[in-house]
Structure 1
Amino acid sequence: MSKLRVAVIGCGSIAKNRHLGEFNSHSGVEIVAVCDIIEERAQEIALQYGAKAYTSYEKLFEVEKPDAVSVCLPNYLHAPVSIAALQAGCHVLCEKPMATSRVEATEMIEAAKNNNKKLMIAHNQRFVASHANARDLIAKGEVGKIYSFRTAFGHGGPEGWSVDGKDSWFFNKEQAFIGAMGDLGVHKADLLRYLLGEEFVEVAGFIETSAKENTDVDDNAVCILKSESGVIGTLAASWAYTAKEDNSTIIYGEHATLRLEDDPNYSLIVQYKNGEVVNYELGGIQSNAEGGQTTTHIIEHFVDSIVQDTEPLINGEEGMKSLEVILAALESMETKRFTKI
């Protein structure tokens, strides 16, 4: 069978550290083209992967006609470029948050449907071993009724990770639209929906810019979420955790408490009501730290969904539901009221 011809649009850190490497190591994929507005950046990556370099994604679609593309661009470009790719007949893997509004997200979903193409959003937390195991335990009834949760995703900020450092688009509201909540919070909104197996119906958000200078995007947020069955808990997203990254989730249930990515040795700890404790060694979660770039399984899943013609786990609808939690938190902060989803 011929290899899947893939193009990567945007040659920043997420493309370099995740998408390109994982596509390259997939035996069923050939990276045919890369695109970046900064020509030298595109050329450098193209040389590395034996691909063609472009500065115009429209031209890339026209000339290369790739089977699939990864959209690794600033947030405000996710929707327009994904839609253009879908209309050009490409399957699309789009970085998160999928869009900057519900309208944009809906347009992306429609474009995928109308062109009969796959649209997947890169919410990699669902593929982390501890998270998948916790979901199984919850689904089997091992934890009993879920009462509450707390989840956090925080580190020192994108300046330590982005190729542009302090000048990164992450700090520019016109390009980013949203800060730590879009970068990290949306991942956790997606994870909680996945773990609990239900939607959130109400959100209260406290979203501030308190740690970074010369930016008007949020860098510190705490939200209270309520699910349709009445489970309540907190979600924190921050670029102000300067000493150490926190990527932990704790689920409080009737029979047990699940501690995910909360311990340096055990990625999942189950503490039962009767005093029994089960520790799982499942390998670490992906992190931006040195040596933290383990495979995300996102690329593998995306490629499989195309080859086998199956619906991706995190399709456009799923991506939009997770985005809606973040949009509701923003609205709550602006109106100083709870927001219903």
Structure 2
Amino acid sequence: MSKIKVAVIGCGAIAQRRHIPEYEANPHVELVAFADPVIERAQKYAEKHGALAFADYRELLKEVKVDAVSVCTPNALHAPVAIAAANAGAHVLVEKPMAATAEEGRAMIEAAQQNGVYLMVGHNQRLMPPHAKAKEILDSGRLGKVISFRTSFGHPGPERWSVDGKDSWFFRKDEAIMGAMGDLGVHKSDLIRYLLSDEVADVAGFVNTLHKEGTDVDDNATCLLRMKSGTIGTLVASWTYYKGEDNSTVLWCENGVMKVGTHPDDQVIVELRNGTVERYKVGAIATNEKQTSSGVIDTFVNSIVTQTPPSISGEEGLRSLEVILAAFESQATGKVISL
């Protein structure tokens, strides 16, 4: 079959480190256009691929007929760009958090449905081998019911990651909308929903700016979650883990405990109440320091090639976003928010 014509909108760190290289490695894809307000960034990749470069994504969508688009812009633009791409008849892969508000998220889902295109959200944690293994073990029933959990994602902050360093859009509230929670927390709300095959019922959150200077976006959050099944746990997101990244999840179950991402070599450890310990070396979780393939691009492309709706759909992205939005509401009101 002919190749899928893909445009990448937003050529910052996530596009440079994940989307573009993973598209380049996928045999079904032809990269045909790039857009970035800093036109030089788009031009660099356009030259490499014999593609077109645009400063404005609207021009790109008007001038070039594309089959699919990766939306790698600042958070505030996710919804407008995704909706414009869907209206141009393109399948859409949008970075997380999918939108700034639940209303925007619903509008994106609607635009995709009306135009008969797929909308997928880049929640790569589901696809990482340790999490796939953890899901398999949980689904086998060997551990029994999950009683409580903690899931956490922290690193030193986007100044180490973003192409603009300390001047990154991540720190500008009008563009970022939210800080560590939108960057990292939403990954973990998505992961815990996926692992437990359960929805979040209630959220209490402390979401604050504790240490990053000159910004009013959150750099730390600790949330209490109660799932519909009654399972309770904590979700932590931080941009101030200055001495090493944490991307771990621990699940305390009826028959033992499962630790994911707590050990450098054994990515999944199961300690059963009968004394047996199982250790699984299944490949690392991708981190900022160590970029492994996220699997997101291949999954998106595979959806298009096989005409199968993506499992990490707009609806899934919206449910994970709503958990994060509830944490902000809890911080603002001092109340527990029911979803």
Asked if Structure 1 and Structure 2 have the same fold, meaning a TM-score greater than 0.5 normalized by the shorter chain, the answer is: yes
Structure 2 counterpart of 1:184: 184
Letter in 2 for 1:195: L
Question: Matched residues in 2 for 1:7 and 1:170: separation?
Answer: 23
Find the partner of 2:329 among 291, 307, 331. Answer: 331
Letter in 2 for 1:118: Y
Structure 1 counterpart of 2:285: 285
**Post-superposition shift, 1:40?**
1.2
Identity %: 54
Secondary structure (helix, strand or coil) at the match of 1:202 reads strand
**Post-superposition shift, 1:181?**
0.3
Structure 1 counterpart of 2:302: 304
Cα deviation per residue 1:302-339 (whole Å; 9 max; x = unaligned)?
00111111110110000000000000000000000100
**Post-superposition shift, 1:49?**
3.0
CA RMSD of aligned residues (A): 0.7
Secondary structure (helix, strand or coil) at the match of 1:73 reads coil
Secondary structure (helix, strand or coil) at the match of 2:257 reads strand
The TM-score with structure 1 as length reference comes to 0.98
Within 5 Å, give how 1:129-278 maps onto structure 2.
129-278=129-278
Secondary structure (helix, strand or coil) at the match of 1:312 reads coil
Question: Matched residues in 2 for 1:313 and 1:249: separation?
Answer: 22
Question: Matched residues in 1 for 2:21 and 2:319: separation?
Answer: 29
* Contact preservation (8 Å) 1:9, 1:57: yes
**Post-superposition shift, 1:45?**
2.0
Tell me whether 1:52 sits opposite 2:56 in the alignment.
no
- Return 153-162 or 44-53, whichever deviates more: 44-53
Letter in 2 for 1:333: Q
* Contact preservation (8 Å) 2:76, 2:176: yes
Within 5 Å, give how 1:76-155 maps onto structure 2.
76-155=76-155
Secondary structure (helix, strand or coil) at the match of 2:33 reads strand
Cα deviation per residue 1:209-234 (whole Å; 9 max; x = unaligned)?
01100000000110000000100000
Secondary structure (helix, strand or coil) at the match of 1:201 reads strand
Letter in 2 for 1:320: L
Cα deviation per residue 1:229-259 (whole Å; 9 max; x = unaligned)?
1000000000000010000000110012110
Question: Matched residues in 2 for 1:176 and 1:212: separation?
Answer: 15
Question: Matched residues in 2 for 1:316 and 1:196: separation?
Answer: 19
Within 5 Å, give how 1:11-22 maps onto structure 2.
11-22=11-22
- Please list every run of 5 or more consecutive structure 2 residues that lacks an aligned counterpart in the other structure: none
Question: Matched residues in 2 for 1:193 and 1:159: separation?
Answer: 29
**Post-superposition shift, 1:48?**
2.7
**Post-superposition shift, 1:284?**
0.8
Cα deviation per residue 1:128-158 (whole Å; 9 max; x = unaligned)?
1111111111112111011000011000000
Cα deviation per residue 1:100-129 (whole Å; 9 max; x = unaligned)?
111000000000100000000000000011
Question: Matched residues in 2 for 1:130 and 1:227: separation?
Answer: 22
Tell me whether 1:35 sits opposite 2:8 in the alignment.
no
**Post-superposition shift, 1:174?**
0.6
User: For this pair of structures, how many residues does the alignment match?
Assistant: 339
Letter in 2 for 1:82: A
Cα deviation per residue 1:61-110 (whole Å; 9 max; x = unaligned)?
12211000000000000000000000000000000000011100000000
Question: Matched residues in 2 for 1:47 and 1:71: separation?
Answer: 20
Question: Matched residues in 2 for 1:55 and 1:97: separation?
Answer: 23
Secondary structure (helix, strand or coil) at the match of 1:32 reads strand
The TM-score with structure 2 as length reference comes to 0.99
* Contact preservation (8 Å) 1:24, 1:49: no
Question: Matched residues in 1 for 2:49 and 2:19: separation?
Answer: 12
Letter in 2 for 1:64: V
Secondary structure (helix, strand or coil) at the match of 1:166 reads helix
Secondary structure (helix, strand or coil) at the match of 2:192 reads helix
Question: Matched residues in 2 for 1:137 and 1:288: separation?
Answer: 27
Cα deviation per residue 1:256-314 (whole Å; 9 max; x = unaligned)?
2110011011110011111100000011111111xx11111100110011111111011
Question: Matched residues in 1 for 2:65 and 2:258: separation?
Answer: 46
Question: Matched residues in 2 for 1:162 and 1:232: separation?
Answer: 34
Secondary structure (helix, strand or coil) at the match of 1:183 reads helix
Question: Matched residues in 1 for 2:254 and 2:130: separation?
Answer: 20
* Contact preservation (8 Å) 2:133, 2:282: no
Secondary structure (helix, strand or coil) at the match of 2:70 reads strand
Question: Matched residues in 2 for 1:6 and 1:234: separation?
Answer: 38
Structure 2 counterpart of 1:314: 312
Q: Which runs of 4+ in 1 moved over 4 A?
A: none
